[in-house]
Amino acid sequence: MFCKSCDCLVCPLCISETHNGHGLVAIKEGYEIHTNKLKAGQKNIRTKIDELKKRKAEVKDIESTEHSRLENTLKKIETQKNELKNEVDKHIEKLESEIMKRWEDLHQTTKKEENEVTLLIGSLESQNSEVDDIIQSNDGKRVFVDGLGLVQSMEETVTSPGTKFDSIPIFLPGQITSYNIGSLENVSIKAIGPYGCKVLFNKVKFIKEGSASVTSCQITTDKFDLDSDLV
């Protein structure tokens, strides 16, 4: 006999001791009951297999799509790198041109004053030599006549040009940050996974700082939220 209440086969002795009053049927009927349960379970397994295969195909599609986005984002990063390099080269060229102009102006100014000072030195050295000649001559006439003019000339104030020079500026390196290069930002997108669970895919976005250009990149992690409601 088969006990429907306990879902098991029973012998005559067990019927009176343990299964008295239970729903007892013939073994053949119990066999059919169990067979139907197995078939129902098998159908459920096949349904789950179909769902998982469908999910596998969806994940593969997501990977393919996100890989394309990855390649697109890498191209944008490379473009940004080239644009930054060009801008840096232009800015460096501008700085070099500016500082060389400052140097040329400074160089011309210093040379001009150097020439003026050289002329003054030459004039003073000439006076100094003339004074030496007068003193060494021991000639009273030269001392009183020529020397008087030299004394008056030597008492005149000799003013150095005293040009104000603009010093060459120092270079202050700017800070290189993600703001002027770009950055990656994680962004989660929701999807429905197998058995109705919610799946969160973390995507990566490349953000070109200072502009509205945003590009999706690749999936980084998968996280399953089995307790959340469907969205």
pLDDT in tens, 143-156: 887 777 777 777 77
pLDDT at 201: 56
Q: What distance in Å separates the CA atoms of residue 186 and residue 202, rounded to the nearest whole number?
A: 6
Determine the Cα–Cα distance for residues 77 and 181; give it in Å rounded to an integer.
9
Distances (CA, A) of 94 to 80, 87, 107, 113: 21, 10, 20, 29
Cα 53 to Cα 64: distance, rounded to the nearest angstrom: 17
Task: Check residue 78 and give its pLDDT.
Answer: 94
**Spans in the chain with pLDDT lower than 70:** 12-17, 19-21, 23, 157, 187-231
Give CA–CA dist 22/6, Å, rounded: 8
- Per-residue confidence (pLDDT) for residue 88, from 0 to 100: 93
- pLDDT at position 156, please? 73
CA 89 vs CA 38, 86, 188, 208, 211: distances in Å: 75, 5, 38, 20, 21
Work out the number of other CB atoms within 10 angstroms of the CB of residue 227: 7
pLDDT for residue 225: 40
Instruction: Provide the whole-model pTM.
Output: 0.53
- Dihedral pair phi/psi, residue 222, rounded to 5°: -115, 135
